């Protein structure tokens, strides 16, 4: 269930045609990076089951189905690939909690402002970062995510991108996001036998510097770890307290 995309390789992950061809060829289902079981502690901690959830770039992953089995009531799934969306809509027509729409995450104008409590992204910003005009695509996507989130809403990004690569995109002041970082090893990672480090729980947020980066000297136990950014769109109360205590960092 793990496929590494620590670089963009030669594939054009930002291209709808690439994904359509791939979904025609592969069929079935596949979850990138991590399955829901591993992500559940983070999802359940930040997203109540009654939330209206938007899954961006759902592909043919089982994640949304697993979330419904875990009690989630309303998940809108979008993907740029019409092949993936047609397949998933047919597969899940008997599950009313799951809805599917073909849509480009950079233009989700069919949805009104503040229409979701939370947005989940597993590998979709990563795909855009591999396409042409990556910084522009990322800004368009994250601008749309911010627009769609209710105040107090949560965007969870699961990615291979470390803070030097992702924080500059997430920390644009116009989003008003407060971001927490978690790091989890890739599935199947085994600690080297001579590894003596005392593992801190992956369920603890990683302390970051003021600019959102890993502290100097921070060593990843698994060099191919996945990063989970939990971004909270601050509401009016938090924004006004931020102007008094600008460096508070709790979500």
Ligand X SMILES: C[S@@+](CC[C@H](N)C(=O)[O-])C[C@H]1O[C@@H](n2cnc3c(N)ncnc32)[C@H](O)[C@@H]1O
User: CB 185 → ligand X: shortest distance, Å?
Assistant: 17
Question: How many residues belong to the site for ligand X (CB under 6 A)?
Answer: 21
Interface map 135-174 toward ligand X (x if CB under 6 A): ----------------------------------------
Q: In what order do the strands lie in the sheet with 149-159?
A: 98-102, 74-79, 52-56, 116-122, 149-159, 226-233, 177-184
CA atoms within 13 A on the CB side of 175: 26
Alpha carbon distance 235, 15 (integer Å): 35
Of the two residues 21 and 220, which places its CB atom closer to ligand X in the complex?
21
Task: Give φ, ψ of 160 to 5 degrees.
Answer: -90, -5
Query: Site for ligand X (CB under 6 A): which residue of 39, 59, 67, 75?
Result: 59
Query: Site for ligand X (CB under 6 A): which residue of 31, 65, 117, 144?
Result: 31
66 binds ligand X (CB under 6 A): no
Query: Site for ligand X (CB under 6 A): which residue of 65, 79, 117, 144?
Result: 79
What is the signed CA dihedral for 35, 12, 54, 182, rounded to 10 degrees? 50
Q: In sequence order, what are the residues at sequence separation of 6 or more whose Cβ sits closer than 8 angstroms to the Cβ of residue 110?
A: 101, 103
127 binds ligand X (CB under 6 A): yes
80 binds ligand X (CB under 6 A): yes
Reported residue count of the chain is 251
Q: Which residues bind ligand X (CB under 6 A)?
A: 14, 19, 31-32, 57-59, 61, 63, 79-81, 84, 104-106, 122-124, 127-128
């Amino acid at each position: 269930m793990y496929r590494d995309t620590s670089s963009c390789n030669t594939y054009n992950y930002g291209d709808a045609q690439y994904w359509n061809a791939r979904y025609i060829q592969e069929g079935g289902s596949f979850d990138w990076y991590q399955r829901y079981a591993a992500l559940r502690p983070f999802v359940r901690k930040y997203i109540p089951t009654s939330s209206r959830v938007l899954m961006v770039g759902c592909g043919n992953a089982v994640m949304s189905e697993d979330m419904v089995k875990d009690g989630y009531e309303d998940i809108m799934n979008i993907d740029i690939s019409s092949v993936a969306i047609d397949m998933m809509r047919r597969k899940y027509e008997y599950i009313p909690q799951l809805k599917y729409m073909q849509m480009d995450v950079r233009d989700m104008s069919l949805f009104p402002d503040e229409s979701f409590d939370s947005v989940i992204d597993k590998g979709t910003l990563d795909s855009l970062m591999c396409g042409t005009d990556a910084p522009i695509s990322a800004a368009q996507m994250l601008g749309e995510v911010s627009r769609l989130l209710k105040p107090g809403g949560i965007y969870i990004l699961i990615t291979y991108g470390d803070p030097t690569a992702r924080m500059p995109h997430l920390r644009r002041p116009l989003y008003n996001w407060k971001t927490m970082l978690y790091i989890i090893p890739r599935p199947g990672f085994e600690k080297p036998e001579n590894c003596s480090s005392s593992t801190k729980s992956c369920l603890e947020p990683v302390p970051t510097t003021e600019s959102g980066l890993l502290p100097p000297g921070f060593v990843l136990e698994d060099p191919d770890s996945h990063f989970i950014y939990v971004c909270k769109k601050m509401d009016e109360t938090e924004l006004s307290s931020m102007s008094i205590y600008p460096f508070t960092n709790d979500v």
